[in-house]
Amino acid sequence: MVKEIEIGTEFITLGQFLKLINVIQSGGEAKWYLREMAVYVNGEREDRRGRKLKKGDFIRVPSAGSFIIKGHS
């Protein structure tokens, strides 16, 4: 099942996203997490914590599930 994540801004960084979905506890853990664990954005492996996620992006975090970014209504 794909979970929808609504954001109220133009974008959210991958590091902020991982914190939002409770995969990491602090932004400082993002670099380590992305180096050690596979995270996919729109089907491609991503290891940049500053990657901007925008409306329509599809993220798969094998340990947490699949997500799609939705813009604020």
Whole-number Å distance between alpha carbons of 6 and 71: 6
Q: What is the pLDDT of residues 8-58, one digit of tens each?
A: 999 999 999 999 999 999 888 999 999 999 999 999 999 999 999 999 999
What value does the CA radius of gyration of the chain take, rounded to a whole number of Å?
Answer: 11
pTM of this structure: 0.92
- Mean local confidence (pLDDT), 45-72: 95
Cβ neighbours of 46 (radius 10 Å): 16
Pick the CATH number of 2-67 from 3.10.290.10, 1.10.645.10, 3.40.50.1950, 1.20.1640.10: 3.10.290.10
Output the pLDDT for position 27. 83
Output the pLDDT for position 71. 83
Which region holds residue 15: left if phi is over 0, alpha if psi is between -120 and 50, else beta?
A: alpha
Whole-number Å distance between alpha carbons of 11 and 17: 10
Output the pLDDT for position 13. 97
CB 2 within 8 A of CB 67: yes
